[in-house]
Amino acid sequence: MPQPAVPIVRRAPYRPPVTTTLLAINVLVFVAMVLCGVPIMSPDTSQLLKWGADFGPLSLGREPWRILTSNYVHIGLIHIAVNMWALWQLGRLSERIFGRLAYFLAYTASGIAGSLLSLLLHPEVPSAGASGAIFGLIGALIGALYLGKVPMPPAARKGLLKSLLWTAGINLYLGATIPGIDNAGHMGGLIMGLGIGAVVGRQLMEPAEKRRQHEVLTFLGVTIVLIAFGMFVKQKNGYVAALDVAERAMSSGKPDQAISELKKYLAHDPNNADALHMLAQAYVTKNDYAGTENAWQRLVQLEPSNVTAKYMLGLTYAAEKRYEDARRVFEDLVRQNPTNDNAWVELGASLDGIGREQDAVHAYNKAIIINPKNVEAYRELGLAQMKLNNAGEALSALQKAAQLDSKNPEIQKDLSDVYTVMGNNREAAAATRRAEELSKSAPKKPVTPQP
């Protein structure tokens, strides 16, 4: 009797829902970033922070959610492509072995652990990416295969374990030798994954109900460990959040609060250039020249080639009428950068302050040669020539300054003084009237104290 034909049943490919969802979330976040103007290959730090990257001053302060969200933010197309390929390869296997819930919790816990270790070891370096969570999957599989009871033939288990160990080792080596890779995040995820895999892996052959109870207890323990670790990181490196608090205080016009927070920060990290710069600016806002001077001096000692810090230190000396100290600073600046016309102007002002008007004239002329449109150089040249009783040269320089900046009432006042000295009362009166008219019509600007 002929047998009825048996239809061939083709096995449907396994489509892991959790892995697919995680991959989709990562890709959607990246696409949203690109659509909002973030460069597809190399986003900058500010753009990454806007989208939730991990960063100590924020993560250890008012935005702890970054410890999680940073796992879904990627630094360019290559970064996300590599991570998503790894997630697809490792995620499908992990989801089958551990089950959906345990797999998702292991992935998330490993990502958080990676973020926390990164915050512990380098809290002021922004980090982002799924690498910590993916290393957690590698660790979980290693732990389960080595210590657990995975339903897999011994030969296959041994081969897979060897492959995973090589993958972890090679990637950790690359992370240690290639600049810009957050190996701390990798290590944190791997260690957490190893622990979870070792515990959960022992329960894989248990009945479903008992296995679920053990998983609940396991992840309650993991939660406690992560909270304790987070509290330790906060206690050790929480001071970095003072930078964010100080920045917001400065934006709100509260320099005293900013100074207080920055002092706390600098007590832990006395050589942080950004903090010293912000501290100097806070003192400037208060017209506290002693504090300003100290901050700029520390920054110059830390970064001898920092032109901005030297320039501001020189201005601070000038504001304190310590013209000889200012002269030394600006002479050093023009030696360091001979084409800095503003430094030549300030050198001239310092020389003028110690009575060396002829040398000041030389410095102002040097600034004009470098930048023929430097209004302040012409104005200061005119004033110096007045002190030397060279009224004609003074008038020529101030007229040029007025030509370049026709709406500056102070230059018109200077012109009035020169005309008066020259006995030209008519032009002096006209210049005075122009100064008064310009003063009335000039928009009022907010006063920003300068050193």
Burial class (CB in 10 A: 0-12, 13-18, 19+), 7: exposed
Distance from C-alpha of 218 to C-alpha of 299, rounded to nearest angstrom: 50
Task: Give catalytic status of residue 115 as yes or no.
Answer: no
Choosing from 59, 110, 118, 186, the catalytic residue is 186
pLDDT < 70: residue spans in the chain: 1-14, 442-451
pLDDT of residue 5: 47
CATH number, span 17-239: 1.20.1540.10
pLDDT of residue 14: 61
pLDDT of residue 12: 44
The tens digit of pLDDT for each residue in 300-356 reads 999 988 999 999 999 999 999 999 999 999 999 999 999 999 999 999 999 999 999
Choosing from 131, 277, 350, 416, the catalytic residue is 131
Domain ranges of the chain: 17-239, 241-441
pLDDT of residue 444: 53
Bridge partners, residue 127, by sequence: 54
Bridge partners, residue 54, by sequence: 127
In this structure, which amino acid lies at residue 53? A
Task: Give catalytic status of residue 277 as yes or no.
Answer: no
Q: What is the DSSP letter of 3?
A: P
Domain 241-441: which CATH number of 1.25.40.10, 3.10.129.10, 3.40.50.10470, 3.10.20.30:
1.25.40.10
Q: How many helices, marked H, and strands, marked E, lie in the chain? A: 22, 0
Give me 261's structure tokens: 């927070």
pLDDT of residue 152: 74
pLDDT of residue 443: 59
pLDDT of residue 9: 40
What rounded mean pLDDT belongs to the chain? 90
Q: What is the pTM of this model?
A: 0.74
Residue of 50, 154, 134 whose CA lies nearest to 93: 134
